[in-house]
Chains A and B, each alone.
Chain A
Amino acid sequence: MKRVFYLVPLLLFMILVGYFAVSLRPGHDIHELPSAMIEKPAPAFDLAGLGESKPLALDALKGHPFVINFFASWCVPCRIEHPLLMRLAEENHLPLYGIAYKDRSGPITNLLTTFGDPYRQVGMDSDGRVGLDFGVYGVPETYVVDSQGVIRRRFVGPLTAETVDKDLLPLLKQLGQS
């Protein structure tokens, strides 16, 4: 056996270590799934509004970029991002629309009355079908949609101030100008 063959196991191992090191890089969440709906048109929806409010339909939202936030009263991380959403709605006048995922009007109304309502409108997706069409696999999830109704970005999990400042707001600004 030529001497060089004996180096093969070591070389293969070093390549393996390289892959492992790359996958451990900070800021990289191995469990986050990329959305399959990016750059695809947002699925049409026409959801009943909260209580007596008017329905929330995709068609009515087209024409300007907007943000959809899937949330629920039973979702703990949603509470964590809620104050941030309130700030965005009040200070930045974010075009934020909420879709209540697998929930009922009662608990949602309680939630929004107690903690504040950052949404311009709320739609009730009680069976989660709209969520499924968007590819939602947990709450909260936030989608940025452009004026043509094409999904541009998805944020999984509660929004953080850093994500909002570095990613969400600049993206909206860029979409607003186009």
Chain B
Amino acid sequence: MITELGHFALILALFVAIIQSTVPLIGAARRHLGWMAVGRSCALTGFALTALAMLALMHAYVVSDFSVINVIENSHTDKPLMYKITGVWGNHEGSMLLWVFMLSLCAAAVALFSNNLPPALRARVLAVQGMIAVGFLLFILLTSNPFLRTFPPAPNGNGLNPVLQDPGLAFHPPFLYLGYVGFSVAFAFAVAALIEGRVDAAWARWVRPWTLASWCALTVGIAMGSWWAYYTLGWGGWWFWDPVENASFMPWLVGTALIHSSIVVEKRDTLKSWTILLAIITFSLSLVGTFLVRSGVLTSVHAFATDPERGMFILLLLVVAIGGSLTLYAIRAPALKGGGLFAPISREGALVLNNVLLSCGCATVFLGTLYPLFLDAVGGPKLSVGFPFFNRTFAPMMVPMVIAVGIGPMLAWKRGDLLGALQRLWVAYIATALVLLGTFYVTYGGPVLAVFGIGLSALLFTAVVTEFAERIRLFRVPFGDSVRRAIHLPRSAYGMTFAHLGLAVSVAGFAASAWAQEAIEILKPGGSIDIAGYHLTLEHVDRVPGPNYMADDATIRVTKGGAFFATLHPERRFFPLQQQTTGETAIHTNFLADLYVALGDGDQAGNWTVRVYWKPLVPWIWIGAIIMAFGGVVSLSDRRWRVGAAARSMRRPPQAVPAAGE
């Protein structure tokens, strides 16, 4: 009954979305306030209906309703409750439902929090979101319906892939989808602006919080996925340039570029058509990512059960959404005249450099991911492009970008003094030199590139700190004054500082992977391994039953310099339903380095393969990502971006650039 309600709600949501895509748009063209307001009610209703559908599917999973085909294929009565719930989105149909749920959530948020937007703009934004919803709801209802039923109900289900039964992975899709789908708001704003034929500082202000919020969610989503891979796959890898990972990374890169270029639009009233294009491209990459994962054209660990028929449908969606918006762009964008000029060497110039490098980085990832497909389509040889390609092409591009992140904020708007900025960074140079020397000494004989990576991170970190110190005039004015300045700094200044610091921290983590150590041995209980100053002893291995698995749990005692350090319990779990074995690694972290233990196969004689890794600075990869996301959130809370504040600025007499501290 509830399942049918959910199904019905989804169909209703489709009709509501159809209304949402058409009526407000006509209303905006005709300046009919009533019709424009329909957008708002449709968005809110659509959200309620989609939420109902989502809850209905969750309900089917929780009560193990095996008349629903989707539940049969992905669930089982023995599955722990948390995974029953999160398993809803662990498959193609369910995750598409999550997609449209996030879409409706974003539309509802725009409807609720945009009272300051001019009604016509809001109507058009909601209409575009409605159009996207129509496309995806049709896709779900016609090709990927999670509510399909079967009679008689099956006695039990096939269970969820054991690899997916993990807390980290359970929550990674919601964040990721919030990010992906959140960029649809920026996309909608861009298309609405093109329809209106106007992009100005106000538009940039309105669009920024939505872009920032999506970017934060995507950052967290990607970091979670990477962290999950690290602790699950058993050898401590955290990024594989897998096509689906790349599909999430590309929108992130362009989304970062978008955030930065919209600053220029807001401050200097220029780079308008470029920013609009970026907003379109960011969401388009989300859509292309959806296509890649679900159509079967690429090989990937993440690919859902793939189906060329579904692929064709999504391709059609892409043609309409991306083709339509890019056509609109080609027609309308030339009319967007820019305003402020600026010298190449300036804050804007640095932001342009940021954009060029991020876009080229994204294009590189795109090229590498799709090249095998391109070659295959023209009948060329069947090649594969793996991480060696990306490491050699993408990484070198990011080096000048990271350097620019440190120097850019030191430059003035319109015309910057590069030499002066470089001189003011003398503290950073000294600190970096010290770090380089120290790291080189300590890791002598190891890979030199990694030393440079650490140096790069140190350079960025100290440059960001220097910039902040300059802003509060540290050491130039009495300390009390500096503190007062710090308190009154706009929150977006803190946001920027944190985000850039987070980047530096992550870069250090990336670089330090080169110094990871590994020891693999076959041990009997009592045997031991030495690594990085730690002594690990396999004490015993016990059989421990779990809710839907049987585990071999090893007890490993770790001592350091003779003194007790930790006890670790890596496991190997066998899931009888799926006849699959997974490993649970045991990681001890002090946030500076990880001691990572994985249990391999055992044999009848009681010999166990034990793999131990010591990974310095690896936690910084995710700590850095969290700091970046935190910076984004702090920026979001800046009252200038808060949509209420824009209303105040609307009532002020027009001026070139709104002053700070309003």
Contact A19 B377 (CB under 8 A): yes
Task: List B residues 259-308 near A (Cβ within 8 Å).
Answer: 273, 277, 280-281, 284, 288, 291, 295-299, 308
Size of the chain A interface, CB-CB below 8 angstroms = 21
Check B456 for interface membership: any CB of A closer than 8 A: no
Q: Which of B308, B318, B333 contacts A6 (CB 8 A)?
A: B333
Contact B382 A24 (CB under 8 A): no
Contact A9 B295 (CB under 8 A): no
Contact A10 B329 (CB under 8 A): yes
Size of the chain B interface, CB-CB below 8 angstroms = 32
Contact A30 B330 (CB under 8 A): no
A21 to B319 alpha-carbon distance, docked (Å): 11
Check A60 for interface membership: any CB of B closer than 8 A: no
Residues 47-73 of chain A: 1 if any B CB is under 8 Å from the residue's CB, otherwise 0? 000000000000000000000000000
Task: List A residues 6-32 near B (Cβ within 8 Å).
Answer: 6-7, 9-10, 13-14, 16-17, 19-24, 26, 30-31
Main secondary structure of the interface of A (DSSP, over half): helix
Contact B297 A34 (CB under 8 A): no
On chain A, the residues within 8 Å of B327 by CB distance are: 10
Contact B333 A21 (CB under 8 A): no
- Specify the chain A residue showing the minimal Cβ separation from B327: A10
- State the Cβ distance, B382 to closest chain A Cβ, in Å: 6
Contact A21 B298 (CB under 8 A): no
Contact B312 A7 (CB under 8 A): no
Check B323 for interface membership: any CB of A closer than 8 A: yes
A16 to B318 alpha-carbon distance, docked (Å): 11
Contact B329 A23 (CB under 8 A): no
Question: Of B368-376, B463-471, B524-532, which stretch is located at the interface?
Answer: B368-376
Check B326 for interface membership: any CB of A closer than 8 A: yes
On chain B, the residues within 8 Å of A34 by CB distance are: 382
Contact B323 A13 (CB under 8 A): yes
A75 to B77 alpha-carbon distance, docked (Å): 30
Residues 82-115 of chain A: 1 if any B CB is under 8 Å from the residue's CB, otherwise 0? 0000000000000000000000000000000000
Contact A31 B299 (CB under 8 A): yes
- Specify the chain B residue showing the minimal Cβ separation from A33: B382
Q: Which of B277, B299, B370 contacts A19 (CB 8 A)?
A: B370
A23 to B377 alpha-carbon distance, docked (Å): 6
On chain B, the residues within 8 Å of A23 by CB distance are: 297, 373, 376-377
Check B334 for interface membership: any CB of A closer than 8 A: yes
* B295, B315, B377: residue with the most chain A Cβ atoms closer than 10 Å: B377
- Specify the chain A residue showing the minimal Cβ separation from B328: A10
Check B621 for interface membership: any CB of A closer than 8 A: no
- Specify the chain B residue showing the minimal Cβ separation from A7: B330
Check B9 for interface membership: any CB of A closer than 8 A: no
On chain B, the residues within 8 Å of A22 by CB distance are: 377
Check B322 for interface membership: any CB of A closer than 8 A: yes
- Specify the chain B residue showing the minimal Cβ separation from A23: B297
Check B311 for interface membership: any CB of A closer than 8 A: yes
A10 to B284 alpha-carbon distance, docked (Å): 12
- State the Cβ distance, B313 to closest chain A Cβ, in Å: 10
A7 to B312 alpha-carbon distance, docked (Å): 25
A14 to B324 alpha-carbon distance, docked (Å): 11
- Specify the chain B residue showing the minimal Cβ separation from A14: B323
Q: Which of A6, A9, A21, A33 contacts B334 (CB 8 A)?
A: A6
- Specify the chain B residue showing the minimal Cβ separation from A21: B315
Check A3 for interface membership: any CB of B closer than 8 A: yes
Contact A6 B330 (CB under 8 A): yes
Contact B318 A30 (CB under 8 A): no
- Specify the chain B residue showing the minimal Cβ separation from A2: B334
Contact B373 A13 (CB under 8 A): no
A167 to B368 alpha-carbon distance, docked (Å): 35
Contact A9 B329 (CB under 8 A): yes
On chain B, the residues within 8 Å of A13 by CB distance are: 284, 322-323, 326
- Specify the chain B residue showing the minimal Cβ separation from A18: B377
- State the Cβ distance, B4 to closest chain A Cβ, in Å: 33
A13 to B319 alpha-carbon distance, docked (Å): 9
Contact B376 A10 (CB under 8 A): no
On chain B, the residues within 8 Å of A19 by CB distance are: 370, 373-374, 377
A24 to B296 alpha-carbon distance, docked (Å): 8
Contact B273 A6 (CB under 8 A): yes
- Specify the chain B residue showing the minimal Cβ separation from A25: B308
Contact A20 B291 (CB under 8 A): yes
Contact B315 A17 (CB under 8 A): yes
Q: Which of B297, B326, B334 contacts A20 (CB 8 A)?
A: B297
Contact A20 B315 (CB under 8 A): yes
A23 to B314 alpha-carbon distance, docked (Å): 14
Contact B370 A30 (CB under 8 A): no
- Specify the chain A residue showing the minimal Cβ separation from B322: A13
Contact B295 A24 (CB under 8 A): yes
- State the Cβ distance, A104 to closest chain B Cβ, in Å: 18
On chain A, the residues within 8 Å of B382 by CB distance are: 33-34
A30 to B300 alpha-carbon distance, docked (Å): 12
A154 to B89 alpha-carbon distance, docked (Å): 39
- Specify the chain A residue showing the minimal Cβ separation from B284: A13
A16 to B281 alpha-carbon distance, docked (Å): 13
Contact B377 A9 (CB under 8 A): no
A41 to B318 alpha-carbon distance, docked (Å): 46
Residues 130-162 of chain A: 1 if any B CB is under 8 Å from the residue's CB, otherwise 0? 000000000000000000000000000000000
- Specify the chain A residue showing the minimal Cβ separation from B274: A1
Contact B330 A24 (CB under 8 A): no
A140 to B315 alpha-carbon distance, docked (Å): 33
Residues 565-604 of chain B: 1 if any A CB is under 8 Å from the residue's CB, otherwise 0? 0000000000000000000000000000000000000000
A17 to B296 alpha-carbon distance, docked (Å): 15
Task: List B residues 501-536 near A (Cβ within 8 Å).
Answer: none
- State the Cβ distance, B224 to closest chain A Cβ, in Å: 28
- State the Cβ distance, A30 to closest chain B Cβ, in Å: 6
Q: Which of A1, A6, A17 contacts B329 (CB 8 A)?
A: A6
Contact A24 B297 (CB under 8 A): yes
A99 to B382 alpha-carbon distance, docked (Å): 27
Contact B298 A30 (CB under 8 A): yes
A15 to B276 alpha-carbon distance, docked (Å): 21
Contact A1 B273 (CB under 8 A): yes
- Specify the chain B residue showing the minimal Cβ separation from A4: B330
On chain A, the residues within 8 Å of B296 by CB distance are: 30
A19 to B297 alpha-carbon distance, docked (Å): 10
* B298, B311, B330, B376: residue with the most chain A Cβ atoms closer than 10 Å: B330
- State the Cβ distance, B187 to closest chain A Cβ, in Å: 14
On chain A, the residues within 8 Å of B284 by CB distance are: 13
- State the Cβ distance, A1 to closest chain B Cβ, in Å: 7
On chain B, the residues within 8 Å of A30 by CB distance are: 296-299, 373, 376
A1 to B376 alpha-carbon distance, docked (Å): 35
On chain B, the residues within 8 Å of A9 by CB distance are: 277, 280-281, 326, 329-330
9 contacts between A and B (CB under 8 A): A13-B322, A13-B323, A20-B318, A21-B315, A26-B308, A30-B296, A30-B299, A30-B373, A33-B382
Which A-B residue pairs are the 3 nearest by beta carbons?
A: A10-B326, A22-B377, A6-B330
Interface residues of B (CB under 8 A from A): 273, 277, 280-281, 284, 288, 291, 295-299, 308, 311-312, 315, 318-319, 322-323, 326-327, 329-330, 333-334, 370, 373-374, 376-377, 382
